[in-house]
Amino acid sequence: MEAHTLRVHKTAHYYTLGQPGTHTRFWWIACHGYGQAAKNFIRKFESIQQPDTFILAPEGLSRFYWKGFSGDVGASWMTREDRLTEIDDYCDYLTSLYRHYEAVLPEDVTVVLMGFSQGCATQLRWMMRDEPAFRHLVLWAGSIPEDVDYQPKADYLNSGDIHFIYGTEDEFLTPDRMEQFFEAAVQYPFNLNVSSFEGKHEVDRAELEKLEERIRLTAPQ
């Protein structure tokens, strides 16, 4: 048996809040977690959407039914099967999306790259491959991929602020996983701003609003 690959065109889906243009000061690109749908995920950001804010939520390229053959549909960014090809595919997708909107936004727009759960690894792998300009990176309830060499791009990583946010009752962030996360953050060039909230594995709206306020206060006027 021989394995083969063939590149084909595929339709990607994404959702937005707000209208991009010369008036835009804040541009969020938010990557959902495993099994989520972008159209539902982006609703978490409705409370921070303002006239000067454009929010974009791309959806993972692999969709599936959560319960067998029917019911809710979720999406995934990658699996361990042929993972390098899947990473290249979603990096190409995110870069195409980034360039599409970059062309209509101001050069000094504040870019916020946000990943939730599996979306954290998605953002970091994309950043390490294609280096999209950013001002803030938000790692929310996710992990740092340890198969990536961050050191050669330390200056790029530290050109913006990196935030780590998690719920104190997150069922996926066990003490061992938290220890691994902070050990990786120390080993690699991550200068983290850490904050937590009382909650589980979720994007807490109140905590998101606090983050948005901090980002807004530190943005150029």
Q: Identify the pLDDT of residue 79.
A: 83
The reported pLDDT for the residue numbered 201 is: 96
Q: DSSP letters of 143-192?
A: ---TTS--GGGHHHHTTSEEEEEEETT-SS--HHHHHHHHHHHHHTT--E
- Kindly state whether residue 194 falls inside one of the protein's structural domains: yes
Could you report the per-residue pLDDT of 156-185, keeping only the tens digit for each? 998 999 999 999 999 999 988 898 888 888
**Given a cut of 80, is residue 189 above it in pLDDT?**
no
Domain that holds residue 99: 14-65+76-217
Residue 219: what pLDDT?
A: 85
Tally of domains in the chain? 1
Confidence of residue 213 (pLDDT cuts 50, 70, 90): very high
CATH number for the domain that contains residue 189: 3.40.50.1820
Q: Match 């901090």 to its residue by tokens.
A: 214
d(CA 121, CA 76): 12
Instruction: Please report whether residue 9 resides in a domain.
Output: no
The answer to the question of residue 40 being in a domain is: yes
- Report yes or no on 50 lying in a domain: yes
At 81 the pLDDT is: 81
In a domain, 4, yes or no: no
The answer to whether residue 92 sits within a structural domain is yes
Contact between 129 and 150 (Cβ < 8 Å): no
**Could you give the CA distance from residue 125 to residue 148 in angstroms, rounded to a whole number?**
7
Mean of all residue pLDDT scores within the chain = 92
- pLDDT at residue 84 tops 80: yes
Whether the pLDDT of residue 124 is over 80: the answer is yes
- Mean pLDDT is lowest, of 32-36, 81-85, 92-96, 165-169, for 81-85
d(CA 55, CA 105): 12
Structural domain includes residue 8: no
- With b for 16 or more beta-carbon neighbours within 10 A and e for fewer, the 45-68 pattern comes to beebbeeebbbbbbbbbeeeeeee
- Three-class SS of residue 198? coil
Average pLDDT over residues 147-155: 89
